[in-house]
Structure 1
Amino acid sequence: MRLSNADAEGMYQETRVQNEVAILTLASAALRHIKPNIVPRVFGWGGASQGRLGWILQDLMPGVPLDNVFSPTASLEQKTAVLRQMAAILKALQDYPLPKSIQGWGGLTFDSNGAIVSAPMPSVGAGPWSSLENSYRGRLKAALDKADKNPYLKGWRPNDIRDRVDDFIERGLSAQFSDLTSSHDRAIIHADFTSDNLLHDPATGLVTALLDYDFSTILHPAYEFFRSFSPNGGRFTGWIADSDPEGQELLELRRAKLTGKFPSPLPTPRETPNGPGVDWELAQAWENELQRINVKRPSTIQGIDKLADVDELLGSLTPWRLINTDFLRMNTDEGQRMALRRMGEEQLVAVLDHLGF
């Protein structure tokens, strides 16, 4: 029995459970050919309402976390075996034909006849939208509304940064979609498709569950690469400053993903202040598995680089460490908060400079 947390930061409670159940329904159909069954079956559910928690009664899935498979001591062969299964899952989610009742971009719910239809995106509380561009326009405005209410961000109005953001939304946003020839494509997006949300059977090596559909949505296939695959070097980022060795390495990885061609020989991983650098062998193995079965990926999505830049701007508008109330509650040092504010502004200004605004 899963109970929706009414205090979860930034979650739209009105359709949160409905969205998850609808996505579970679609994912179950898309992945029915994969054995063992990896999508939890739903036996009952109830949406949240005034004074009542939402809930889902679903399968308790077998298997153990994938931590040991992606540990530094595991062999590349072991990791590749799991990556091969992850690629097959992603391919099936991308290829599944959505019901005609789903007309928009964003979240899902059920109509009075039980059909799955478009709804607000639970992680935003806005939508659905009539196009991918409108989904980003709506989410940028929602992020600015959140920044308006934040005492540290103050809507990014100091130093005239807000004017620059508004100008980009008004004059620059549409141009970022001009090269995206597949802008009408939509797919089931898990949006947290990482090893943390996969279980496997150590005896057989088979993935036994894909879990946690809290952030799942219907968006362009590129969006999965903006939100998922981070532990195996598979996440695709927007513009990256290359002013330090860490940034230079990430930029090199971005180029490799964008072209589908990795350096030969592979670079030596760099140790960074934030921990180990890029695991180039693992990142290349993931790319190879995607190529092997022709999964839609950064190197095949024309215009994904400009779309990723918009997504980078979106993330920069609401720095998590200044927005999340739990983090702020645990970190009360005002000096540190102001330092985070300065870092956030530097990042946002750098993205705006890159976009030409």
Structure 2
Amino acid sequence: MTDNHVNFQGRLDFIKNLLYREFNAQAREIIPVQYDPQCPFKYNNFVYRINLSSPPSGFRKHDLQQPGTVAVPEGVSEFIMRLTNPNADGMNPETRVENELAMIYLAATALRDLKPHVVPSVYGWGSAALPSSQGWILQELMPGAPLDETFESMPLDEKKGILAQMAQFLHALQAFQLPRSIKQYGGVTFDDSGSIVSTAMTTVGSGPWPSYEDYFRDRLERALKKADSNPYLKGWHANGVRERLEAFVKSGVPEQFKSFESRHDKTIVHADFTPNNLLYDASTRRITALIDYDFACILHPSYEFLRSFSGAGGKFQGWSDIESTEQTALRDAKLHGFPSPLPADTGNKVKWDVAKAWEDELEKLDVKRPRTMKGIEKIADVDAVLRCILPWRVTNSDVLRLQSEEVIMKCRSENEAQLIKLLDHLGF
């Protein structure tokens, strides 16, 4: 039995009891969403579609004051329930639910002029902070089907319409004026008065940070400590790599940020803004929802491009010796302008027509993007070093369990070679 499926019935029982206790409601049907009981990788959350026997009759009295929530609309009996997975790799529980709730609230406020609304309302939640607590969020069931199921096969004109809407969302998120109570970079939570304030970042477990540069420096330092405890990486002490990495953290990171003119900007970052987190109505050709704020945070606008848009324009990535010439050309196009005519589609990962369409839609709205962020390529290189220090194939517990010792060591060797070439590229 996989890790995900171990407590399947226990989760269903938890939901039934929670609905009765918190909402005086009984579940008629609880349906797992995008759930594979045989999946070898741990889910970050378990998501369920809830159908109630009848609309809920109300909250407990104190829940009316829960920050980030609204009352359940009259007559509604279908919902989405999200349960945090306490065994998920790299997800820190202390303010995990609170961060997601606060980011949903901020995103909903930033996108409030869109009609109909695209950010799900939240009706109740429970923190995952205590070891014995199960984090949960009860939220609005949004209309539409997952966009990633059909986006690839759509004609280009329909894709352009979707990209135009995505650009509109991103523009609004970037333009939103953050509350003054959010003073730093990283995660967010609610203080005792209900204000949204800075806190540790869910996917890091540290922070908040006074600057974007401090975020990366801390991430790199923490990555090196984790590498020390990894039996395969052994802190990258072999072949002098560790000394080079420490030198880069100390003097290379500040140097990379010197030419990054907009380094003090900060904004709402979804950090997983991709077709699989968009719902779509094919009959109206409208995006109906932007969902899943588990990774969302407050960081520089560039971070969205480093983490999002795979499958719809592509992530902006740092230098790598193993990337194709075509990928290098795409990065150059995002920085300096796309060639005309576009390169022919060779069937590889780069979809030039979609990437160009995405750039065009961003330009129409003057969205902050790689071409307008002078020095972003240097920040992407810092991010590339961070990714290389803790390669997924050699650090993820699920991946390690599925691979032989021989394969793991081969991956480790390949990654060391890539890391050395990256440090050579950076002059360290």
TM-score range, shorter chain: over 0.9
Name the amino acid aligned to 1:263: P
Question: What is the 5 A alignment of 1:130-279?
Answer: 130-241=210-321, 247-259=324-336, 261-271=337-347, 276-279=348-351
Runs of 5+ in structure 1 lacking a partner? none
Name the amino acid aligned to 2:231: P
The percent of aligned pairs where both chains have the same amino acid is 53
Question: What is the 5 A alignment of 1:24-39?
Answer: 24-39=104-119
- The count of residues paired between Structure 1 and Structure 2 equals 347
Deviation at 1:336, TM superposition (A): 0.5
Contact kept in structure 1, 2:260 and 2:374, CA below 8 Å? yes
Deviation at 1:234, TM superposition (A): 2.8
Cα distance in 1 for partners of 2:304, 2:104 equals 16
User: Could you give the per-residue CA deviations for residues 294-341 of structure 1, whole angstroms, max 9, x where no partner exists?
Assistant: 00000001111111110111111111111111111222x111001110
User: What corresponds to 2:384 in structure 1?
Assistant: 312
User: What corresponds to 2:364 in structure 1?
Assistant: 292
User: What corresponds to 2:28 in structure 1?
Assistant: none
Cα distance in 2 for partners of 1:36, 1:145 equals 46
Over alpha carbons, which structure has the higher Rg? 2
Please say which of residues 230-239 and 283-292 is displaced more in the overlay.
230-239
User: What corresponds to 1:4 in structure 2?
Assistant: 84
Name the amino acid aligned to 1:56: I
Name the amino acid aligned to 1:269: D
Runs of 5+ in structure 2 lacking a partner? 1-80
Q: Say if 2:146 is the partner of 1:65.
A: yes
Name the amino acid aligned to 1:295: V
TM-score w.r.t. the length of structure 2 is 0.79
Deviation at 1:61, TM superposition (A): 1.3
Name the amino acid aligned to 2:151: F
Cα distance in 1 for partners of 2:207, 2:196 equals 15
Q: 1:335 aligns with which of 406, 409, 412?
A: 406
Deviation at 1:67, TM superposition (A): 3.0
Contact kept in structure 1, 2:320 and 2:418, CA below 8 Å? no
TM-score w.r.t. the length of structure 1 is 0.95
Contact kept in structure 1, 2:338 and 2:356, CA below 8 Å? yes
User: What corresponds to 1:347 in structure 2?
Assistant: 418
Cα distance in 2 for partners of 1:144, 1:45 equals 35
Q: Say if 2:134 is the partner of 1:53.
A: yes
Q: Say if 2:172 is the partner of 1:95.
A: no
Q: Say if 2:381 is the partner of 1:301.
A: no
Deviation at 1:190, TM superposition (A): 0.4
Contact kept in structure 2, 1:234 and 1:286, CA below 8 Å? no
Contact kept in structure 2, 1:269 and 1:277, CA below 8 Å? no
Deviation at 1:68, TM superposition (A): 4.8
Deviation at 1:56, TM superposition (A): 0.9
In the TM superposition, structure 1's runs of 4+ consecutive aligned residues that sit over 6 Å from their partners are none
Cα distance in 2 for partners of 1:55, 1:184 equals 34
